[in-house]
Amino acid sequence: TLKPKANGRKMHSYNGKVAMTCVIFIFGLVFSPQTLGYSVLPQHKNGRATTVSSTPIQQTKSHDSRRGFLTSAAVQSATFLSILLPVTATAASAFDNRLDDKYADALATTGAQPKDLGVATRKSRTEGSYVGLKMCGNSPNCLASSNPVADLPVRTIAGWNGGSIKDVKKVIDTYEVGHDDIDGGGFKVVEYDEKEKYIYVQFQSYKAGYIDDFECWYNPKSGLFDVRSSSRVGYSDLGVNNLRLEYIAGRLEKEFKWTFERRRNGSLA
């Protein structure tokens, strides 16, 4: 693997911010709403701000002057900076255990973290409801085991038969980033509840920075561990979620004697 280049990374980040600042300032000069003759100030009615107005306004002496023009552009530039810079900073941050720093500063397409992860009572197409992890959608970038198989046979796998959620945590703690050319962006344990026998981990791709969500939970009703691994964006995952589950299951099988119900081809899915 490539060695991290800390100094080069900092200079690249600094130059990028300077360039971004210049571009946004020019953008403010050219596309300032005052320049285009429109007001972006909130309109007030009965003491309350209403929708933003896009009605033409008359140019005042302040806007006709060079000082007024530059002041207006600077205000617009500052507005764009306040919106864009936090996004850039968040996107550039990477998991500490990634393979290396080669693409750590690249603009990552992380996608939004789903708000309905975890264990909950969920709707079932065939049984009315079930308690467990979220069911996959129709896109082939997700695998799960909580929902009734009849709800979505092609995306549903069998639960895992094992001893303890601690086993899963140990495998995750020593997870090999970059195995099978996946998850080179590293991973992060977001939630681990030993009492509830639940773990939630985020995995990131090496170049594009896609984040996938992995969950494992002991289902007291079935006596098995339910799992779910899903991509946030896109349609096809090129088999990444399946490779991740195979890696985790393989280690659980070898190191902790877990057992798995596999398909005729020998795979989990």
Question: For residue range 118-166, what is the model confidence (pLDDT) as tens digits?
Answer: 999 999 999 999 999 999 999 999 999 999 999 999 999 999 999 999 9
Q: Does the pLDDT value for residue 173 go beyond 70?
A: yes
**pLDDT of 44 above 50:** no
Give the rounded percent of residues in the chain with a pLDDT score beyond 70: 65
Where are any strands of DSSP class E within 18-127? 42-45, 48-52, 120-124
What is d(CA 171, CA 233) in angstroms, rounded to the nearest whole number? 26
Lowest mean pLDDT among 77-91, 106-120, 159-173, 186-200: 77-91
Residue 97's pLDDT band (boundaries 50, 70, 90)?
very high
| Nearest C-alpha neighbor of 77 from the set 30, 15, 16, 39 | 30
Q: In whole angstroms, what is the distance from residue 215 CA to residue 102 CA?
A: 28
**Residue 178 tokens, joined:** 């970059």
Residue 178 predicted with pLDDT over 60:
yes
| Burial class for 106, CB neighbours closer than 10 Å (0-12, 13-18, 19+) | middle
pLDDT mean over 10-19: 42
The predicted structure's pLDDT at residue 5: 35
Q: Is the pLDDT of residue 185 over 90?
A: yes
Q: What mean pLDDT is reported for the chain?
A: 77
Whole-angstrom distance, CA of residue 58 vs CA of residue 167: 70
Q: Which tokens sit at 56?
A: 């033409």
Give the phi and the psi of residue 198 in degrees, each rounded to 5. -140, 140
> In the prediction, which pLDDT does 93 show?
58
Q: Of 218, 217, 207, 266, which Cα lies nearest the Cα of 242? A: 266
Rounded to an integer, the average pLDDT of 79-86 is: 40
Confidence at residue 94, expressed as pLDDT on a 0 to 100 scale: 77
Q: How far apart are CA 117 and CA 214, in angstroms?
A: 10
CB-CB contact of 76 with 58 (8 Å): no
Mean local confidence (pLDDT), 7-23: 42
| Element containing residue 18 per DSSP (H, E) | helix 6-31
Tell me the C-alpha distance between 210 and 187, whole Å.
11
Residue 71, pLDDT score: 47
Provide the pLDDT for residue 69: 45
* 243 dihedral zone (left: phi>0; alpha: psi -120 to 50; beta): alpha
CA 170, 172, 175, 181: dihedral to nearest 10 degrees? 150
Which region, left, alpha or beta, applies to residue 37 given φ > 0 means left and ψ of -120 to 50 means alpha?
left
- Start-to-end Cα distance in the chain: 31
User: Residue 241 above 50 pLDDT?
Assistant: yes
Identify which has the larger pLDDT, 114 or 12.
Answer: 114
Instruction: Please give the average per-residue pLDDT across 209-220, as a whole number.
Output: 98
Tokens at 8, concatenated: 């080069």
